[in-house]
A and B are shown apart, each in its own frame.
Chain A
Amino acid sequence: MSAILLIAVFTPIVGSFLLPPAAKVSEKLRNALALAFVLVSFVCSAVLLKPAVAGSPAYIDLELPLGLGFGFLADGLAVFMAMISTFVGAIIVFYSFTYIDRYPNKNEYYLMVTLFIGSMTGIVYSTNLIYMYAFWEISAICCWRLIGFFREKDYVLRADKAFLVTVFGALAMLLGFLLIYGQTGTFDMTKMRGADIPDAAVLLILAGLFSKSATLPLHTWLPDAGVAPSPVTSLLHAAVLVKIGVYAFARFFLINFSISQIWHTAVPVVAAASALVSAGAALRENDLKRVIAYSTVSQLGFIFLGLSTGSALGAAGGLLYILMHSLAKGGLFLCAGVVEHNAHTKDLGKLGGLIKTMPVTAVSFLLCAFSVMGIPPFGGFFSKYMVIGGAVAAGEPWVAAVFVIGAVMTVLYLMRAFIAVFMGEPKGGAFSRGAVDHSAALDEAAIGAGSAETAASAVLPRENSRPMVASVAALAALSLAGGLLIAFPSAFAQNIVSQMAVMLK
């Protein structure tokens, strides 16, 4: 089992560096290898699931002096998170085959994406705070390169912003780790389970988590990161980056450390402010990807709420929220990618009427949006109910009421985006660049269909890219399946929460 654990972490990390040489043989080989490395990691994590649920998780431990022992642990929480990240990551890599094909620097792209996913598994399985920090910073570097992938001046500045905010947050967190070290004399989390840690350390660590998981007041880099290629934004929002912070929160404060009661009120209040402010911004933005990005900030508030109030129901809800949000938000960004890829704009004021020519994307977007809104039978319903019900059960109904307002705003901004992109009439002149790029394909389609109606809508961009459309449809279907088959993920979340029993009421 321990070998599988090592394979799960190191296949994508080591493998990512093999991708540029593989491209010398063939680009297809490189693409296939990238997908294979991520999938291997997913399969290994899936194999680790059974022992984790049974209560005998795979464990690797290498004793070293100064508390720097090297260790990996595949308990329920870690396997849960790793499976989500690698699975959604694999879909995104598959989607990238088509999306990224037309751009330069593809070697770097695949290297960074695979390394990114690998560093995520590293963070998730690490038991030692120092190694966790190291993987954490690797992910920051990948994120920096990928956000600035298009290399325009403004884009690079935004990549710098994301890098600086997350790295300074991580440095604060490192100081927090040192405080903990000063108290316990070790960096090994398995050796300090249940330790009381000082409030200063909690505050420093929270700075790291909030910067990574884009929570008020360290959140504005995330909407700015929307200049990245769409599969990358999807990766940041759904599979890896922003999930690091919430995962670490669960790892530190629900499984490992015991913290003073004040944080069970303070964190929900910050999360509530974050959820409301970003929901308001999402209602105002006119860039499709910025709307969805602010939506992520807002939804992260819900996840933090679930994890932080200290009730078992809320904690399980927070974990399910990570899963459902990954599926649905991944889907939304990939849909935005399909739109952007074919329409060459993501300005809500210029898009419109695309349901006629992009029916699968439109329906997938709607289904994913329903899941994020928390409408049954989609998966998002259960996580939203459990998070809100958990806050009530923890004796904080006021906070729950504020989050209900946030949930109403979620409905408003997602419907606004859906209507602006897919409904109504297309606005004039919006797709001029698209018309030039795809004129040949469009003419062919118009002639092929032959009807007057098709000819009229031929100016609208189409869903040219099958693998991309298949990816979004798969994520939409999974969002639905997550709700219909809730018994399975929910049982798993309960299993994980039962391991947290010490920390919860």
Chain B
Amino acid sequence: MSGWILLLPVVIPAAAAVLIFLVPKNAWAAQNALALLASAGTLALASALFGKDAAFTVRWAGFGMDFDLRLYNFSSFIILAIAAFTFLTAVYSSVFMKDAGRPRQFLGFTLLTAGFAAGAVLANNLVLMIFFWEGLLATLFPMILAGGNKASPTAVKALVLNGVADLCLMLGAGIAAWLSGTLAMDRINLPVGGFWGGFAFIMMMTGAIGKAGAMPFHSWIPDAAADAPLPVMAILPGSLEKLLGIYLLTRVSMDLFRIEPGSGFSLMMMIIGSCTILFAVLMALIQKDYKRLLSYHAVSQVGYMILGVGTALPIGIVGGLFHMLNNAVYKNCLFLTAGSAERQAKTTDIRKLGGLGRKMPVTFVCFLVAAASISGVPPFNGFFSKELVFDAALETNAVFFVVAALGAFFTAASFLKLGHAVYFGKANEDAPRDAVREAPWPMLVPMAALAFACVLFGVYNPLPLRGLIEPVLGQRLAESAAGLPRNWALAAVSVVILGLAVLNHLYGVRKSGKASGASDHIHYAPGLKTVYGWAEAKLLDPYDVGMKLANGASAGLLAIDRAIDWAVARLTAAAAGLVSAGIRRAHTGRHWMYVLWTLAGAAIVALIFAGVGK
């Protein structure tokens, strides 16, 4: 296969995006058609490319910075997933975005995002990879702003948090290139020995998990849930960012660097993963807004992926990647159900929603399937990938397993609350009850397709595992992870956890008297109440803390600057003034003084000439 075809997954969406910006603002139908056509074409192309090997290289910016694309099992899997999610988003948005925010801006930058994301995955040169990877900053910003100018603080927050992670990635890549003497990713394979090797790994890992939205790079996601148009949430934090971040994390810890199981770096990743799981799910639990609740889960779930990949065990990496795929499917689906509720019931506040199950049956069923998947209910897809991660975590250290299991408990609890409050019971008094009906079919089809995938990837898990994920590990994997969980005891524990979550939910509903209050007994538990209070006051937001630090530091730097200015401008002027005052005083007007000066000067000149003469 000739290599130039690898340009198409980048060029087709990007070209369509340019055309969309050229189409007049009001011509929604034309913009929509372009987006659908381009994303469908890219999907067809990505399917055709799937499982093939190809390479494309041209000289580019010199110094080893080649335009080097490589298609192999891993990249072909990820670009297929990117293309599929982009297409589904385009279909969904054809109705959803019609009257919302800035549709042209959203569509154009979504396609550009898809192109850049494909380029980042196909790139086989570190600089080219970063070119596309950081290019996503330039699309993320306007995508969030598609929600209107009120979204600008969130857009800046997203840009800064992602920008910090990306700059870390850039530094790490520079050091990795220095240590290995090449920028070609398939030729870099470094041990993490020595200070700079470890530093480079940490920097590149930071870039990867930052994109995936792990803590502490997560805090823009819940804000974006409120400000950005919903499809932005579905496609970016819901799907593409996880695919990209975990793809790179796997590449970094498996290919670019050789991380050993049980090593300090492996444990570091697992700790980051565990903290992300637990803290984000605890935040998700107390949310009263459909979209914000989902956004915290988008953060929490990435913890499982990092935990899995971080074990550096083949089974953990398979589990992490499988969870990445499953999460992209069910999280996207969940965000889309939130979009249905938002569009049809005009609110996402779960205290106002209620009884949507009967009025929006298709949305309801999709929600049920996706919620069961994320909660780890067998036989849906999330159950199988979570079991693999549990397995690998337990093999490393039981503490990680306990944290992961706690995360599963709270995940199930928060989705019981969400589902109960939104789809059962009665609608709140002030909700426009009669107007609520099922969403139009272009919104239902992507949801249903994703829900179907949740079932398929669970019930018939050899399809994703043997077909998509296990080839990535190749020889490293001793036996296939497909089929039923190997460790029945772990599976039993998971089911018990689900049971406990149900009991907890029933207790919470009974205590608070309403479904939306099912987590109040945890929210207002002694001790936790205080911590939640801090979190709500944004004292724990790493962005706000970082900005305070930056402000403090800049005050100090400005003081240095002012001091230098004072020294340069005032001090030199004062010194010049002093000197001239001194000289002026020497002008006494007495004749003999001037004679003395002249003689002294002549003597000095004579001495100099004498010195030069030697």
Contact between A389 and B177, CB atoms less than 8 A apart: yes
B59: chain A residues within 8 A (beta carbon) = 487
Contacts of B170 in A (CB 8 A): 384-385, 388, 404
Q: Output the nearest chain A residue to B127 by Cβ-Cβ distance.
A: A385
Complex interface: chain B residues within 8 A of A216 (CB)? 564
Q: How far is the CA of A178 from the CA of B568 in the complex (A)?
A: 25
Task: Fill in one digit per residue for B148-168: 1 if any A CB lies within 8 Å of its CB, else 0.
Answer: 010011001001100110011
Among A68-76, A251-259, A275-283, A332-340, the one that faces the other chain is A275-283
* Interface residue? A346 (CB, 8 A): no
On chain A, the residues within 8 Å of B177 by CB distance are 389, 392-393
Inter-chain contact A280/B557, CB cutoff 8 Å: yes
Interface stretch, picked from A18-26, A49-57, A369-377, A469-477, is A369-377
Contact with B along A406-441 (1 / 0, CB 8 A): 011101100100010001100000000000000000
- Contact between A389 and B174, CB atoms less than 8 A apart: yes
On chain B, the residues within 8 Å of A277 by CB distance are 557, 560-561, 564
C-beta contact mask, B555-568 vs A, less than 8 Å → 1, else 0? 11110110011011
Instruction: Determine whether the beta carbon of A424 is less than 8 Å from that of B61.
Output: no
Give bound CA distance, A116 to B30, whole Å. 51
CB pair A392–B60 under 8 Å, yes or no, is no
**Among the listed A276, A284, A316, A407, which residue makes an inter-chain contact with B63, where contact means beta carbons less than 8 Å apart?**
A316
- Residues of chain A with a CB closer than 8 A to B163's CB: 373, 375, 408, 411
CA distance A384 to B168 in the complex (A): 13
User: What residues of B have a CB within 8 angstroms of the CB of A393 in the complex?
Assistant: 174, 177-178
With A161-B569, A218-B568, A280-B557 in contact, is A392–B63 under 8 Å at CB? Answer: no
Known A-B contacts A404-B167, A404-B168, A486-B60; A409 and B558 likewise in contact (beta carbons under 8 Å): no
Contact call B62/A316, Cβ cutoff below 8 A: yes
Contact string, B106-135, partner A, CB cutoff 8 A, digits 1/0? 000000000000000000000100111011
**Residues of B contacting A280 with CB < 8 Å?**
553-558, 560-561
Out of B61, B132, B565, name the residue touching A382 (CB < 8 Å): B61
Measured CA separation A165–B565 after assembly (Å)? 11
Q: Which residues of A contact B174 (CB under 8 A)?
A: 385, 388-389, 392-393, 397, 400
B480: Cβ under 8 A from any A Cβ: no
Q: Which residues of B contact A220 (CB under 8 A)?
A: 561, 564-565, 568-569
- Which residues on the B side are within 8 Å of A149 (C-beta)? none
CA distance in complex: A408, B196 (Å): 21
Interface check A110, CB cutoff 8 A: no
Query: Could you tell me the distance in whole angstroms from the C-beta of B204 to the nearest C-beta in chain A?
Result: 13
B62 contacts across to A, CB distance below 8 A: 316, 490-491, 493-494
Number of B residues near A (Cβ < 8 Å) is 49
Of the candidates B164, B178, B564, the one having the most CB atoms from chain A within 10 angstroms of its own CB is B178
Contact status of A375 and B153, CB under 8 A, knowing A281-B557, A283-B550, A389-B174: no
Q: Is the C-beta of B175 less than 8 angstroms from some C-beta in chain A?
A: yes
* A411 to B164 alpha-carbon distance, docked (Å): 9
**Chain B min CB distance to A465 (Å):** 24
Q: How far, in angstroms, from A162 to B134 measured CA to CA in the complex?
A: 38
CB of B502 closer than 8 Å to a CB of A: no
A377/B569 in contact, CB under 8 A: no
Which of chain B's residues have a CB closer than 8 A to the CB of A180?
A: none
Residues of A contacting B564 in the complex (Cβ-Cβ under 8 angstroms)? 216-217, 219-220, 277
- Shortest C-beta distance, A211 to chain B (Å), equals 10
Nearest A residue to B196 by beta-carbon distance? A397
Confirm or deny: B512 has a beta carbon within 8 angstroms of a beta carbon on chain A.
Answer: no
**Closest chain A residue to B564, Cβ basis:** A217
Is B171 an interface residue, CB under 8 A from the partner? yes
CA distance A13 to B163 in the complex (A): 44
Query: Which among B60, B152, B569 is the interface contact of A419 at CB below 8 angstroms?
Result: B152
Given the interface pairs A280-B554, A385-B170, A408-B167, the reply to whether A415 lies near B63 with Cβ below 8 Å is no
A381 vs B159: C-alpha distance in the bound complex, in angstroms?
Answer: 15
Residue B137 at the A interface, CB < 8 A? Answer: yes
Chain A's closest residue to B181 (CB) is: A393
Complex Cα distance, B215 from A231, in Å, reads: 44
Q: Which range holds the interface residue count of chain A?
A: 35 or more
Closest residue of chain B to A355 (Cβ to Cβ) is B149
Judged by a CB distance under 8 angstroms, whether A386 is at the interface is: yes
State whether A217 and B568 are in contact (beta carbons under 8 Å apart), knowing that A277-B557, A376-B131, A415-B159 are contacts in the complex: yes
Interfacial residues of chain B within 549-601, with CB under 8 A of chain A in the complex: 550-551, 553-558, 560-561, 564-565, 567-569
**A487 to B61, Cβ gap below 8 A?**
yes
A374 to B134, CA, bound (A): 9
In the assembled complex, which residues on chain A have CB atoms less than 8 Å from the CB atom of B65?
Answer: 382, 490
Determine the distance from Cα of A243 to Cα of B525 in the docked complex, in whole angstroms: 62
- Contacting residues of chain B (52-80) with chain A, CB-CB under 8 angstroms: 59-63, 65
Instruction: Verify B135–A490 contact, CB threshold 8 A.
Output: no
Inside 8 A of A384's CB, which chain B residues have their CB? 170
A239 within 8 Å of B by Cβ? no
Residue-by-residue, is B474-487 near A (CB-CB < 8 Å gives 1, otherwise 0)?
00000000000000
With contact pairs A280-B557, A404-B167, A409-B550 given, residues A376 and B135 touching in the complex (Cβ less than 8 Å):
yes
Partner of A415 from B156, B199, B551 at Cβ < 8 Å: B156
Expressed in whole angstroms, the Cα–Cα distance for A366 and B138 within the complex equals 10
Inter-chain contact A281/B152, CB cutoff 8 Å:
no
Q: Does A401 interact with chain B (Cβ within 8 Å)?
A: yes
- Asked whether A423 and B152 contact (CB < 8 A) given A280-B561, A281-B557, A404-B168, the answer is yes
Task: Given the known inter-chain contacts A218-B568, A278-B561, A486-B60, please indicate yes or no for A397 contacting B554, CB distance below 8 A.
Answer: no
- A392→B178 contact, CB < 8 A: yes
A281 touches B159 (CB 8 A): no
- Docked Cα-Cα span, A397 to B178, in Å, equals 10
The answer to whether B63 touches A375 (Cβ under 8 A) is no
Residues of A within 8 A of B568 (CB): 165, 217-218, 220
Contact indicator B554/A377 (Cβ below 8 Å): no
Nearest Cβ distance between residue B202 and chain A, in whole angstroms? 12
Interface membership of A90, Cβ < 8 A: no
Give the one of A374, A389, A409, A419 with max B CB within 10 A.
A389
| Binary CB contact string for chain A from 210 to 234 against chain B (1 if under 8 A, 0 otherwise) | 0000001111100000000000000
Docked-complex contact B134 and A276, CB < 8 angstroms: no
Q: Which residues of B contact A276 (CB under 8 A)?
A: 557
Q: B150 to chain A: closest CB distance in Å?
A: 9
Contacts of A316 in B (CB 8 A): 62-63
List the B residue with the shortest CB-CB distance to A282: B554
Residues of chain B with a CB closer than 8 A to A397's CB? 171, 174-175, 178, 196, 199
The 8 tightest CB contacts between A and B, nearest first, are: A280-B557, A220-B565, A280-B554, A283-B554, A389-B174, A423-B152, A490-B61, A376-B135
Task: List 9 contacting pairs A-B, 8 Å CB cutoff, sorted by A.
Answer: A218-B568, A280-B556, A281-B561, A284-B555, A386-B63, A389-B177, A392-B174, A400-B175, A415-B156
- Not counting A397-B178, A411-B159, A494-B62, a sample of 15 additional A-B residue pairs whose C-beta atoms are within 8 angstroms of each other reads A216-B564, A219-B564, A280-B558, A284-B558, A316-B62, A373-B163, A374-B134, A375-B163, A376-B130, A376-B131, A385-B174, A397-B199, A408-B160, A408-B164, A487-B59
Taking Cβ atoms with an 8 Å cutoff, the residues of A that contact B are 161, 165, 216-220, 276-281, 283-285, 312-313, 316, 353, 355, 366, 370, 373-378, 381-382, 384-386, 388-389, 392-393, 397, 400-401, 404, 407-409, 411-412, 415, 419, 423-424, 486-487, 490-491, 493-494
